[in-house]
Amino acid sequence: MQPPAHVIGEFLNQAIRLAVRNVSDGGGPFGAVVVTADGRTHDGVNRVTLDNDPTAHAEVVAIRKAAAASGSFDLSGAVLYASCEPCPLCLAAALWARVDRVYFAADRYSAAAAGFDDALFHEYFDGDRPELMPVSHTDLPASDLPFHAWRDNPDRTEY
């Protein structure tokens, strides 16, 4: 079920305000809000340079906070609002968190114009820029041992 347009606008504007304030605070120009199924909001801002954490994108920070506050790695029913189009890192984080849907305000081209690689990394996932980071498969005799251990563990928590 989609939220009403005015709700989408409100949360997107909240994410934008977080992003603007984060620039004054020395961070990157990105903000995000996760609204969990229980209606609570969890916000995040980009802390990559402040925390020396290349994964601390606003959406990832908001998702991690939402999951911690919910006591669950599964945020089914949640909606993610982002000041800017989520990059592949943030989309994948939202997929693993089982976020229902995503809304964003600015797009990847505005981010690119401001000097960020979001659009470039989308191209990598489109298969157009494989040279950015070569990935090689080296199968080994032990490759599947972790999965055997997993299946043999009756106490495993699946996700």
Active-site residue list: 59
Contact 93, 59 (CB under 8 A): yes
Helices 118-125, 88-96: axis angle to 10 degrees equals: 60
Among 40, 87, 128, 154, binds a copy of itself (CB under 8 A): 87
CB of 39 to a copy of itself, least distance (A): 19
Residue 1 is a binding residue for a copy of itself (CB under 8 A):
no
Under rule CB under 8 A, which residues in 18-77 are in contact with a copy of itself? 19-20, 22-24, 26, 28-31, 48-49, 52-55, 57, 60, 63-64, 67-68, 70-75
Closest CA to 33 of 75, 82, 91, 72: 82
Is the CA virtual torsion 64, 70, 73, 74 positive or negative? negative
User: Does residue 155 bind a copy of itself (CB under 8 A)?
Assistant: yes
The residue assigned the tokens 């945020």 is 75
Applying CB under 8 A, does 154 fall inside the site for a copy of itself?
A: no
Q: Which of 13, 33, 38, 44 binds a copy of itself (CB under 8 A)?
A: 13
Instruction: Choose, by CB under 8 A, the member of 41, 92, 128, 130 that binds a copy of itself.
Output: 92
CA distances from 57 to 66, 125, 149, 152 (A): 14, 18, 33, 36
Query: What character string, x for contact with a copy of itself (CB under 8 A) and - otherwise, covers 98-137?
Result: xxxxxxxxxx--xx-xxxxx---x--xx------xxxxxx
| Gap between the Cα atoms of 83 and 15, Å rounded | 5
Q: How far is the CB of 72 from a copy of itself (least distance, A)?
A: 6
> What are the Cα distances from residue 145, in Å, to 3, 48, 149, 156, 158?
45, 35, 6, 15, 17
Nearest approach in angstroms of CB 38 to a copy of itself is 15
